[in-house]
């Protein structure tokens, strides 16, 4: 379906380009490594772009085996069409034997520094989570962003920026990839960034983001015919999503806070983010009792009231998780420059080397009580043996040191090399302590 849509739009773009080109002789130029066709009056433009990621990953395993491999992790094809103050974009991924729609939106440029967007696009949250993977400093985002960031959703948004201020907000209605039955989730997300210092010697940015989210339905319960019963928040990061993995069931809402800072001084970079997530949960104990039915508790004498569920099986407590990272970079052959329209850094010029180091601390644990018999709860042996627990979440915790070197051969070709050493602390993998990860990528942008 998505493939057919993309091919159709691409074909339409080529036909329109050919017709207009014959009549008006479109000019052709290289735009950020891609192809841009422009009409003589500058009112109509068609762009074709894409990328290829050729990756190699080697794990220095501790105890749990991980899959070292080489792969083409992503192939992107994108088309943009611009006419007057309007533009549209579609970007499709063919990587890892999966077909996914990425960007697919219509945008109206209200003024020179403000715009409205509708479709599937990045929610304005943080630095890494709102940036394209091709522009990230490391191969892939930090564990902080992987676990607690947001990414793209379907919605409508508004962005306004000046040389010192960036503001963006939107209302969204869930992920384009969600194929589960039940109602979609929804969210409202906003980001503000302020640049108090912006000159040739130093640019300093501080900012924050906020998002309130109703989690996506995860299908209907066969017993209750209720999609709310299965709403969940899943937070994963790191090698094969093993050591950092929190599945928070019974989720009612997810509130996220992000604080960010970015500083560049000629060839030096300092960047950091902190993200906190609070998931509120509530079990439908009345429906549980109705599902079990009168025969159940008459026969077994337990439970007999909705309150018995929380007393015996444990209260579904709210869950708080948090993470942060800080990274420093140095360019050899160019200087960092700031783009106020994106609140991020421009791509370095060809022939530049970039050296980076990053510290990441991600904590997906929210534990209260003693772990016994598969649950966390009060140190009461008889209750624990019966399955009592407070439904704590043990998603794991990690501290990761990463180093990287990037070489920008041209506007189209980039070579990357990363090494990370990850301290693992996960109750599900008690023997794993340290995991080394070596990543290499040949990145082609066009």
- Helices vs strands, H then E, count in the chain: 6, 24
With a cut of 50, list the residues of the chain below it in pLDDT: 1-3, 5-6, 8-9, 11-12, 15, 19-23, 297-299
Burial class from Cβ neighbours inside 10 Å (0-12, 13-18, 19+) for residue 21 reads middle
The DSSP code for 342 is T
Rounded Cα distance between 268 and 273, Å, is 17
Tell me if 324 sits within 8 A of 288, measured CB to CB: no
Q: What is the pLDDT of residue 12?
A: 47
- The residues near 347 (Cβ < 8 Å, ≥ 6 apart) are 32, 135, 408, 411
Calculate the CA 222 to chain-centre distance. Answer: 31
Structural tokens at position 71: 């792969």
Cβ count near 382 (within 10 Å): 7
Q: Where are the domains of the chain?
A: 51-75+96-445
- DSSP labels for 163-176? SSEEEEEEEE---T
Number of residues assigned to the chain = 446
- Conformational region of residue 369, where left means phi above 0, alpha means psi within -120 to 50, and beta covers everything else: left
**Tokens 């180093």 found at:** 403
- The residues near 386 (Cβ < 8 Å, ≥ 6 apart) are 312
- The residues near 427 (Cβ < 8 Å, ≥ 6 apart) are 371, 394, 396
Structural tokens at position 234: 């899943």
Rounded Cα distance between 346 and 339, Å, is 6
Q: What is the pTM of this model?
A: 0.88
- Out of 2.120.10.30, 3.40.50.1370, 2.40.160.10, 3.90.180.10, the CATH code matching 51-75+96-445 is 2.40.160.10
Structural tokens at position 96: 């890892």
Q: What is the pLDDT of residue 292?
A: 61
Tell me if 393 sits within 8 A of 319, measured CB to CB: yes
Closest of 89, 71, 92, 91 to residue 81, by C-alpha: 89
Closest of 6, 3, 133 to residue 79, by C-alpha: 6
Tell me if 325 sits within 8 A of 360, measured CB to CB: yes
Closest of 246, 255, 260, 248 to residue 277, by C-alpha: 255
Tell me if 120 sits within 8 A of 86, measured CB to CB: no
**Tokens 């960010």 found at:** 260
Cβ count near 99 (within 10 Å): 12
Q: Over the range 365-379, which residues count as b (16 or more CB within 10 Å of their CB) and which as e? A: bbeebeebeebbbee
Q: What is the pLDDT of residue 189?
A: 98
End-to-end CA distance of the chain: 25
**Tokens 């794990």 found at:** 59
β-strand 69-83 against 86-93: which pairing, if any? antiparallel
């Amino acid at each position: 379906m998505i493939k057919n849509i993309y091919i159709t739009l691409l074909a339409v773009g080529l036909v329109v380009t050919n017709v207009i080109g014959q009549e008006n002789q479109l000019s052709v130029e290289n735009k950020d490594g891609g192809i841009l066709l422009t009409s003589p009056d500058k009112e109509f433009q068609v762009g074709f772009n894409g990328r290829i990621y050729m990756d190699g990953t080697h794990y220095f395993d501790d105890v749990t085996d991980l899959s070292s491999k080489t792969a083409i992790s992503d192939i992107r094809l994108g088309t943009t069409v611009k006419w007057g103050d309007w533009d549209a974009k579609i970007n499709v991924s063919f990587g890892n034997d999966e077909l996914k729609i990425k960007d697919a939106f219509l945008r109206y440029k209200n003024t020179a520094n403000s715009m409205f967007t509708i479709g599937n696009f990045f929610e304005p949250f943080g630095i890494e989570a709102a940036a394209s993977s091709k522009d990230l400093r490391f191969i892939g985002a930090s564990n902080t962003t992987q676990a607690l960031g947001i990414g793209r959703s379907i919605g409508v948004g508004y962005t306004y920026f000046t040389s010192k201020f960036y503001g963006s907000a939107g209302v969204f209605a869930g992920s384009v990839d969600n194929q589960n039955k039940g109602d979609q989730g929804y969210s409202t997300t906003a980001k503000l960034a302020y640049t108090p210092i912006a000159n040739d010697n130093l640019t300093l940015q501080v900012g924050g983001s906020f998002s309130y989210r109703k989690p996506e339905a995860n299908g209907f319960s066969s017993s209750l015919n209720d999609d709310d019963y299965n709403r969940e928040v899943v937070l994963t990061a790191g090698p094969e999503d093993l050591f950092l993995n929190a599945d928070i069931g019974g989720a009612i809402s997810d509130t996220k806070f992000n604080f960010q800072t970015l500083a560049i001084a000629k060839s030096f970079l300092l960047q950091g983010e902190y993200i906190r997530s609070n998931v509120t949960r509530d079990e439908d104990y009345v429906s549980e009792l109705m599902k079990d039915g009168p025969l159940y508790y008459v026969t077994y004498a337990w439970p007999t009231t909705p309150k018995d569920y929380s007393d015996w099986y444990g209260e579904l407590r709210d869950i708080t998780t948090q993470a942060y990272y800080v990274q420093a970079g140095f360019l050899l052959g160019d200087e960092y420059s700031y783009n106020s329209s994106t609140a991020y850094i421009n791509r370095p010029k060809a022939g530049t080397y970039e050296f980076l180091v990053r510290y990441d601390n991600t904590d997906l644990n929210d534990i209260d009580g003693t772990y016994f018999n598969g649950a966390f709860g009060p140190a009461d042996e008889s209750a624990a043996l019966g399955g009592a627990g407070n439904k704590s979440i043990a998603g794991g915790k990690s501290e990761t040191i990463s180093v990287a070197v990037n070489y920008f051969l041209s506007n189209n070709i980039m070579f990357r090399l990363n090494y990370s050493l990850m301290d693992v602390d996960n109750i599900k993998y008690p023997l794993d302590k340290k995991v080394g990860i070596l990543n290499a990528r040949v990145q082609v942008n066009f």
